[in-house]
């Protein structure tokens, strides 16, 4: 039962147990609401028998107090078992999703966008939070308590019980048949919500380009259409839900009529006494209210399937695993007949074999789309290879835990990601245990001090979201400082100076020359002058190794590398007419 609930509702083990407790608490609360009806039944029976005996007045007074106390107690238990437990589980669910995302291969993120994943972690969890505090426990409580009460009613009089309860399965069947319709409506609503969120995010991120091209009005027109689509789908969802729930509620109300009609006929026939007739009228008037709420809760629970499916897509996705102990001997990186294709089926690498030796700089060059960046990502196990093998110091990286493996790598990307924090804390990402002195020393090696000490608060200056207060070269130097601070034996440089001006490029190349000393270095570059001093160059074209060797050897070969050098030399002589 616990396992089924975990899978069905994307719960933790404790969350599944808490859900069962919440359902049982709702059963107790619903049953407690029937005690006043029972007390009233005995009071009416006494009144019809000639009055309440003096000795029974105290019984009814104490009974009223006991009913109030019981309702208060069960409500308190129900509140704690549903709301408090749900809020705790909601936090656990978000953390679990985030942890799972941390271990999922990056290929998964190629199929998802930021708005989609954010919606799953925030909006879907919020919706399920409401479901587990309001809908599911109350639905289960209503059904179980109704079954127990129904058994009691059949014991009293099976004919009247049938007249009262035949409407319940019919009403629930109507709502149950709405499942497929709701799923389709919810999926379409979710699609337009994600498209709208994407549009809003894109608008905010590209507002500078929109203004520069006078494209704001046209873009906002398209964004308005997406917002209207969300509005339309929300209304359609409500209508689709209401059509089934209202129809089921109308059927449910027929139960009161059938109880009155059947009871009247049995009274006329003399096969039913007045007090039993009164009992059934009293019970069904109380019974149908929670059942009507249960119909709405059932519809709401059905609508959670879309949200749960999105969560389970993350929770069920295979993760990268491996040994947490490093077994490498040295830091040579060897690609052995490596092939790789994305989930889309697009083949990126066909048969790549080369060795990046420790203590040497190995440069990856070649035309765009040749697989250079993919090679560097595979080396750090951001993705797993489709075939072949990659080893670091003889250790098969596919058998090594990704986080453990990354302790061997310092990576400097072309697109630097910074956090809305101080310069010191942004550099400290490279080593969370580093002291301020160690961070500043790493920063000086990367020439960060050249601009940091001129800022208003020096090293403690907040640099804004993604370093918006800094230039491209300054942001890149912070990234290099992180690599200095981590001091890993393998360095991956992905177009680290591709978009910088001459002054910043010189400063960063000076910093990089300090960083790569005596380490295994894999560098990706488009500018041939950047890799002119490399120990080895691997030329990638169309997903395969076209050439490899020293710069001098490849120049004499007069192949693809030599042609790329020639083309870049000619482009440097280009002038405005």
CATH number at residue 477: 3.40.50.300
Is residue 511 in some structural domain?
Answer: no
Mean pLDDT, the chain, rounded, equals 83
Can you name the residues that pair with 411 across neighbouring β-strands? 492
148: pLDDT strictly greater than 60? yes
pLDDT of residue 475: 86
The more confident residue out of 317 and 354 is 354
Question: Do 469 and 361 fall within a single domain?
Answer: no
Q: Please, which pLDDT band fits residue 244 given cuts at 50, 70 and 90?
A: confident
Return the minimum-mean-pLDDT range out of 17-31, 226-240, 399-413.
Answer: 17-31
Question: Do 461 and 530 fall within a single domain?
Answer: no
Rg (alpha carbons) of the chain, rounded to whole number: 35
Is residue 505 in some structural domain?
Answer: no
pLDDT of residue 167: 87
The torsion angles phi and psi of 515, rounded to 5 degrees, stand at -65, -40
Q: Please, which pLDDT band fits residue 356 given cuts at 50, 70 and 90?
A: very high
Question: Using one digit for the tens of pLDDT, what is the confidence trace for 337-347?
Answer: 999 987 656 78
The two structure tokens encoding residue 372: 């250079």
Q: Among candidates 467, 469, 521, 463, which has minimal Cα distance to 496? A: 521
Question: Do 87 and 42 fall within a single domain?
Answer: yes
Is residue 530 in some structural domain?
Answer: yes
Question: Using one digit for the tens of pLDDT, what is the confidence trace for 447-476?
Answer: 888 888 888 888 888 888 777 888 878 888
pLDDT of residue 280: 81
574: pLDDT strictly greater than 60? no
pLDDT of residue 147: 82
Q: Among candidates 509, 523, 539, which has minimal Cα distance to 333? A: 523
Question: Do 267 and 396 fall within a single domain?
Answer: no
Question: Do 198 and 271 fall within a single domain?
Answer: yes
Kindly tell me the burial class for residue 88, based on how many C-beta atoms sit within 10 Å of its own C-beta (0-12, 13-18, 19 or more).
middle
Cα separation of 41 and 59, whole Å? 14
pLDDT of residue 332: 93
Is residue 196 in some structural domain?
Answer: yes
Q: Which domain, by its residues, includes 82?
A: 2-315
Three-state secondary structure along 248-269?
Answer: HHHHHHHHHHHHHHHHHHHHHH
Average the pLDDT over 36-43 and give the result.
Answer: 76
Q: Are 188 and 240 in contact (CB under 8 A)?
A: no
Question: Do 135 and 199 fall within a single domain?
Answer: yes
Q: Which helix (H) or strand (E) holds 356?
A: strand 347-356
Interhelix angle 502-515/472-486, nearest 10 degrees: 0
State which of 466, 487, 508 marks the end of a domain: 487
DSSP state of 134: I
Q: Please, which pLDDT band fits residue 562 given cuts at 50, 70 and 90?
A: confident
Is residue 503 in some structural domain?
Answer: no
Q: Are 252 and 292 in contact (CB under 8 A)?
A: yes
Question: Do 292 and 341 fall within a single domain?
Answer: no
Q: Are 93 and 44 in contact (CB under 8 A)?
A: no
Instruction: Please provide the DSSP assignment of 530-554 as one string.
Output: GGTT-SEEEEEETTEEEEEE-HHHH
State which of 285, 315, 345 marks the end of a domain: 315
- Give me the count of residues in the chain: 577
Q: Are 454 and 424 in contact (CB under 8 A)?
A: no
Q: Please, which pLDDT band fits residue 42 given cuts at 50, 70 and 90?
A: confident
Q: How many CA atoms lie within 13 A of 113 on its CB side?
A: 10
292: pLDDT strictly greater than 80? no
Question: Using one digit for the tens of pLDDT, what is the confidence trace for 489-543?
Answer: 998 888 766 555 666 667 667 777 777 777 898 988 777 777 777 889 999 988 8
Average the pLDDT over 240-246 and give the result.
Answer: 83
Question: Using one digit for the tens of pLDDT, what is the confidence trace for 64-123?
Answer: 898 899 989 988 888 888 877 787 888 888 888 888 888 887 767 766 777 778 778 877
Q: Please, which pLDDT band fits residue 416 given cuts at 50, 70 and 90?
A: confident
Question: Do 135 and 276 fall within a single domain?
Answer: yes
pLDDT of residue 392: 94
Question: Do 481 and 539 fall within a single domain?
Answer: no
Q: Are 494 and 411 in contact (CB under 8 A)?
A: yes
Is residue 450 in some structural domain?
Answer: yes
Q: Are 402 and 475 in contact (CB under 8 A)?
A: no
Is residue 507 in some structural domain?
Answer: no
- Domain count of the chain? 3
Q: Are 398 and 338 in contact (CB under 8 A)?
A: no
Instruction: Please provide the DSSP assignment of 390-439 as one string.
Output: EEETTEEGGGB-HHHHHTTEEEE-SS----SSBHHHHHGGG-TT--HHHH
State which of 444, 465, 487 marks the end of a domain: 487
CATH code at 158? 1.20.1560.10
Question: Do 200 and 181 fall within a single domain?
Answer: yes
Question: Do 208 and 77 fall within a single domain?
Answer: yes
Is residue 510 in some structural domain?
Answer: no
pLDDT of residue 270: 83
pLDDT of residue 123: 79
Average the pLDDT over 204-233 and give the result.
Answer: 86
The CA distances from residue 474 to 15, 95, 428, in Å, are 47, 33, 16
pLDDT of residue 355: 93
Average the pLDDT over 187-216 and give the result.
Answer: 84
pLDDT of residue 246: 85
Question: Do 287 and 397 fall within a single domain?
Answer: no
């Amino acid at each position: 039962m616990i396992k089924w609930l975990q899978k069905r509702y994307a719960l933790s083990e404790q969350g599944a147990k808490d859900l069962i407790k919440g359902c049982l608490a709702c059963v107790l609360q619903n049953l407690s609401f029937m005690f006043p009806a029972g007390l009233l039944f005995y009071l009416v029976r006494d009144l019809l028998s000639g009055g309440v005996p003096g000795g029974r007045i105290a019984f009814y007074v104490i009974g009223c107090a006991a009913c109030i106390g019981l309702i208060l107690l069960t409500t308190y238990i129900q509140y704690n078992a549903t709301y408090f437990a749900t809020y705790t589980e909601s936090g656990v669910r978000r953390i679990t999703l985030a942890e799972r995302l941390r271990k999922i291969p990056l290929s998964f993120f190629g199929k998802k966008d930021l708005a989609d994943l954010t919606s799953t972690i925030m909006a879907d969890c919020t919706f399920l939070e409401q479901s587990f505090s309001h809908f599911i426990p109350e639905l289960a409580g209503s059904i179980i308590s109704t079954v127990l009460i129904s058994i009691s009613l059949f014991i009293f009089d099976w004919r009247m019980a049938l007249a009262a309860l035949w409407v319940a399965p019919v009403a629930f069947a109507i709502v149950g048949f709405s499942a497929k319709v709701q799923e389709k409506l919810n999926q379409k609503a979710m699609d337009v919500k994600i498209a709208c969120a994407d549009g809003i995010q894109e608008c905010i991120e590209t507002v500078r380009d929109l203004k520069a091209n006078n494209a704001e009005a046209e873009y906002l027109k398209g964004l308005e259409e997406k917002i209207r689509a969300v509005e339309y789908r929300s209304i359609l969802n409500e209508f689709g839900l209401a059509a089934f729930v209202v129809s089921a509620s109308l059927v449910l109300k027929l139960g009161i009529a059938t109880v009155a009609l059947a009871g009247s006929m049995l009274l006329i026939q003399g096969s039913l006494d007045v007090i039993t007739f009164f009992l059934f009228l009293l019970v069904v008037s109380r019974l149908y209210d929670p059942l009507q709420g249960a119909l709405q809760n059932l519809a709401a629970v059905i609508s959670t399937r879309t949200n749960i499916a999105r969560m389970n897509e993350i929770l069920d996705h295979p993760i990268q695993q491996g040994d947490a102990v490093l077994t490498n001997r040295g830091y040579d990186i060897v690609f052995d007949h490596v092939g790789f294709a994305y989930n889309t089926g697009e083949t990126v690498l066909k048969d790549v074999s080369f060795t990046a030796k420790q203590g040497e700089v190995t440069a990856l060059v070649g035309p765009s789309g040749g697989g250079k960046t993919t090679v560097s990502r595979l080396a750090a196990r951001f993705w797993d290879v489709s075939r072949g093998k990659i080893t670091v110091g003889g250790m098969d990286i596919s058998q090594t835990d990704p986080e453990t493996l990354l302790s061997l790598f310092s990576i400097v990307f072309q697109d630097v990601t910074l956090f809305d924090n101080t310069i010191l804390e942004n550099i400290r990402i490279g080593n969370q245990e580093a002291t301020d002195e160690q961070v500043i020393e790493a920063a000086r090696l990367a020439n960060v001090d050249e601009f940091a000490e001129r800022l208003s608060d020096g090293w403690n200056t907040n640099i804004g979201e993604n370093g918006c207060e800094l230039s491209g070269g300054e942001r890149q130097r912070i990234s290099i400082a992180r690599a200095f601070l981590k001091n890993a034996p393998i360095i991956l440089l992905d177009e680290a100076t591709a978009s910088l001006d001459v002054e910043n490029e010189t400063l960063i190349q000076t910093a990089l020359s300090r960083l790569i000393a005596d380490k295994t270095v894999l560098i990706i570059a488009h500018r041939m002058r950047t890799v002119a001093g490399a120990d080895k160059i691997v030329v990638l074209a169309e997903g395969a190794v076209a050439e490899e060797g020293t710069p001098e050897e490849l120049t004499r070969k007069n192949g693809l590398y030599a042609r790329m050098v020639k083309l870049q030399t000619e482009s440097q002589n280009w002038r405005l007419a």
